[in-house]
Amino acid sequence: MNTEYKIKLIILFNHIALIIGIIYASPIWLLLTFIGWIAFGKLGGEVGLHRYFSHKSFKTSIWKERMLLVLGIFNCFGSPIMWVGVHRKHHIKSDTDEDPHGNQAIWRVWLTFWKPFNIEMKYFADLLRDNWQKNIHKHYFKILIGTYIILALVDWRIPVFLISISSVISFHSAGMVNSLCHKYGYRNFDTKDTSTNNTWVNYITLGSGLHNNHHAAPTSWTTKTKPSEIDFSGWLVKILLKEKL
């Protein structure tokens, strides 16, 4: 089975786990989901995979870099190398037929049922120089599934609420950004693509909806350009990760 179908199966499994988990939801388990979303979705995904590994928007220590890399595994979107390659090509080919998730129906983009595409090695060649990246890419599914099983042996609700449900939240947060924030909202910058800032998406995702700001300055560690705009992930970078120059 190829990588694409493995990822789709994991996404499907996590949605089924969400439905089952709802039956057993309680404040303590929902708190675990919130922790998972912040750790894996915001730190591992938005900060790590997106702002750090894709765009090199800030410098941090090697051990914090490794932490972001590991947290990014449990975003459940595939290996970091794959994620970075897709995202970098999206920026270079944004809103063209070569964009991995551009010029397609909203439902396709939201649910990652993208039309077939290729990601050339030039989009992730730099990551191949890092043995951590290569090993995680090679053993990604083993690490993800193995960790899930170990946690389930303690209590099956731990991986369901910590990993599955938090990853579903991250999945639909990314879906909103990739689809709605290329169609609806306001623009602070006249970029060559159709990226927009969507206030409601930004509130729901805690700062990922300032998409026009991001496309205008992808190497910036923050997407906030106005006092009224919020960027929780940028705040995390500033107080926890960014090296003081």
Q: What is the per-residue pLDDT for 102?
A: 81
Q: What pLDDT is attached to residue 1?
A: 63
Residue 216 clears pLDDT 90, i.e. is over it: yes
Residue 207: left if φ>0, alpha if ψ -120 to 50, beta else—which one? left
pLDDT tens digits, one per residue of 44-78: 999 999 999 999 999 999 999 999 999 999 999 99
According to DSSP, the residues that pair with 210 across neighbouring strands are 197
Q: What is the pTM of this model?
A: 0.93
pLDDT (tens digit per residue) in 16-43:
999 999 999 999 999 999 999 999 999 9
* Confidence band of 244 (pLDDT split at 50, 70, 90): low
Q: What is the pLDDT of residues 92-150, one digit of tens each?
A: 999 998 999 888 888 888 988 888 889 999 999 999 999 999 999 999 999 999 999 99
The predicted-structure confidence for 94-104, as pLDDT tens digits, reads as follows 999 899 988 88
Q: Residue by residue, what is the 3-state secondary structure of 29-50?
A: HHHHHHHHHHHHHHHHHHHHHH
Percent of the chain that is helix, strand, coil (3-state, to 5): 65, 0, 35
Domain ranges of the chain: 3-183
- Per-residue pLDDT reduced to its tens digit, 2-16: 788 899 999 999 999
Angle at 152 between CA 10 and CA 15, to 5 degrees: 30
